[in-house]
Structure 1
């Protein structure tokens, strides 16, 4: 009888501990998903020039589009530039600096990025349903398009959309690469001109600390 009573008394303690652990794990997950990060493209191709222009290059936002930009020796960190077509003038873009955020009115997480530092402004990252381009804009602009679910791979290193790593870089003009979404993997709906490279989009945490699972 005493043993049975002790068992019954201990049940609330066990339940309370389990709930606390679950809540702590949830808070840890939410904290990780709100960590700001940059994004860099990664590719594995034999074409030397294409690989040099895309692999390891950071993603920036410009003219409503998500673009892979070249970096140059001597440039400040987080400043990624490319040559304008037909000349030596450089065009700048705003480096992607974002995090995961619950998309309003949906049961999935979206992806947001700053689009300017002064004043600070955030936009949603989404896929244009018609062109397959990665773009950024306000919620109204993102609504008719594919705004999520955004996530990461099991190792928390690479971006995924709709549980896929289906991104490609398209050379729209010489030296200018834009990021597209090739969901079906057959390049359908993508621009017919220019080179197309399969790319992965790597999370680069701003604090420089690798994302790790937190054990509770």
Structure 2
């Protein structure tokens, strides 16, 4: 377990620059997660998943129609909505890393307990970063703890216990796609519930849903997470049941 804590501490940026007290920061997150794991619903939030885009049929018009069933990737410090290979379910651009992560309690003694979300950003080693919503732009971004702590880091959740449930932030689905350049879409959150009125700057904005797609086996290993657990967290029977490994 110590090795798992060290690995997670390094990847989430919870280690002091001098290397002192390697497990302290991540231990806070693990301790908080154990408190939240008192029921099966919270344990299943550590099940690994990709994120696909869903558009209501009424929004599948014009250039926005191409967003439906795309995949979320992480590169250039932001989250992007990109074409997905229909056979593999992975990004068409193999150089871009798909979101591959899970929920985890965010360790911060100066704010109320909140559920954060992490994703691998590299495969070898399997480095994890925290997702956050930028305070100024409302763009979805990722960083280690020191880079994320000043921004909106949670609470992330989902709409139901189903495998294909949608992701929520602060209790609602306010995610939007913003066309940063021709055909290039980034993920934002409509924090003020006004269609990003003060931030869109003439760019096209489309309401989207973020659908969880549970990943297991070889696919999990490919994107930097071990099948048996998330950086040291052993899967429970309830998680196995939901992922189809333990059919009763």
Number of aligned residue pairs: give it: 178
* Matched residue SS, 1:117: coil
Aligned: 1:166 with 2:179: no
Distance 1:207 1:72 in 2: 18
Tell me what 2:102 maps to: 99
Q: What CA deviation, in whole Å up to 9, does each residue of 1:8-34 have, x standing for no partner?
A: xxxxxxxxxxxxxxx9x8352343111
Distance 1:107 1:151 in 2: 13
Aligned: 1:147 with 2:159: no
Distance 1:46 1:130 in 2: 29
The match for 1:68 among 78, 81, 104 is 81
Aligned: 1:175 with 2:183: yes
**Between 197-206 and 64-73, the greater mean CA deviation after superposition:** 64-73
TM-score normalized by the length of structure 2: 0.65
Q: Give me the CA root mean square deviation.
A: 2.5
Q: What CA deviation, in whole Å up to 9, does each residue of 1:26-73 have, x standing for no partner?
A: 352343111000001111214243212x11101000100000001356
Distance 1:122 1:73 in 2: 26
Tell me what 2:236 maps to: none
Distance 1:108 1:72 in 2: 34
The match for 2:49 among 14, 37, 41 is 37
Aligned: 1:57 with 2:60: no
Aligned: 1:199 with 2:199: no
Unaligned runs of 5+ in 2: 1-34, 218-240
Unaligned runs of 5+ in 1: 1-22, 82-90
1:170 to 1:60, Cα distance in 2 relative to 1, 3 A: same
The structure whose Rg is larger is 1
Q: Is the 8 A contact 1:169 1:178 kept in 2?
A: yes
* Matched residue SS, 2:129: strand
Distance 1:73 1:36 in 2: 20
* Matched residue SS, 1:51: helix
Q: What CA deviation, in whole Å up to 9, does each residue of 1:111-165 have, x standing for no partner?
A: 0000010111000000000000000000111111000011111355010111010
**Between 182-191 and 99-108, the greater mean CA deviation after superposition:** 182-191
TM-score normalized by the length of structure 1: 0.74
Distance 1:210 1:196 in 2: 34
Q: What CA deviation, in whole Å up to 9, does each residue of 1:89-124 have, x standing for no partner?
A: xx8311000100010024111000000101110000
Distance 2:98 2:75 in 1: 9
The match for 1:132 among 138, 145, 155 is 138
Q: Is the 8 A contact 2:178 2:203 kept in 1?
A: yes
Distance 1:211 1:193 in 2: 42
Question: Which runs of structure 2 are paired with 1:205-216 in the superposition (5 Å)?
Answer: 205-207=214-216
